[in-house]
Amino acid sequence: MAPAPDVPVLDGNAVTGIVTKSDLMKSALIKNLTCPVADMMEDVATVSLYHSLDHVIDVMSERNDKVVVTNNDESIAGIITETNLAFFDNGQKIAGVVERGVTVRRRKQPRGIMGGGMLFLAPVIAEDIMTSPVITTPPDTPVNRAVSTMNRYEINSLVVVEKSDIAGIIKRDDIIREVAK
């Protein structure tokens, strides 16, 4: 069951305000959650810095969730959320990205001549679209303290790290869902 979307506040038939998920995250009910984040966290999908944009999208689609990007040593390099994908400009030049030429066959021109040419594609990888650094928390952090961190940084999740290993992720929607029970 997904948490409710933003809810309008009505006075009769007139909308006088709206209650957002951000408002709920500042509520007294959530401020009273003192259990450790380990009790609410879930596992998180990871991808390598060098995974292609297509692979990242496939993983995010399978899980319907964000992914953590890892370095070769499995340490956290960044995170990719729906927002990263929504605002990524695939047409932008990315510093240091080598272009590769791909021959494409074009449709017939008005004079019946087949057009042909080179289409240059930039191989976009996870590192190009991730957000870094990633805000993390240990698994024994009380949920209300984790929520304070989320509110301070205006983020919707925290990666949970135990020692140097990724233990999971705690997300705003899971916290709201827990309070709604």
| pLDDT band at residue 102 under the 50/70/90 scheme | very low
Tally Cβ neighbours within 10 Å of residue 27: 13
Type of residue numbered 172: R
Class of domain 21-90+125-180: alpha beta
Cα Dmax for the chain: 73
pLDDT in tens, 138-153: 999 999 999 999 999 9
pLDDT in tens, 45-81: 999 998 988 899 999 999 889 999 999 999 999 999 9
pLDDT in tens, 2-27: 555 678 888 888 888 888 777 777 77
Structure tokens at 162: 């135990």
Q: Where are the beta strands (DSSP E) in the chain?
A: 7-11, 14-19, 45-48, 67-70, 76-80, 100-108, 114-121, 136-137, 157-162, 165-171
Average pLDDT over residues 15-42: 84
* pLDDT value at residue 37: 95
Q: Is the pTM of this model over 0.75?
A: no
Average pLDDT over residues 85-110: 58
* pLDDT value at residue 103: 46
Provide the b/e sequence for 31-55 (b: ≥16 CB within 10 Å).
Answer: eebeebbbebbeebebbbeebebee
pLDDT in tens, 105-121: 445 555 555 555 544 44
Q: Is it the case that residue 99 has pLDDT exceeding 80?
A: no
Type of residue numbered 7: V
Listed by start position, the domains of the chain span: 21-90+125-180
Three-state DSSP at 121 gives: strand
Structure tokens at 8: 């309008």
Of 158, 163, 161, 131, the C-alpha closest to 144 is: 158
| pLDDT band at residue 135 under the 50/70/90 scheme | very high
Contacts of 11 (CB under 8 A, 6+ apart): none
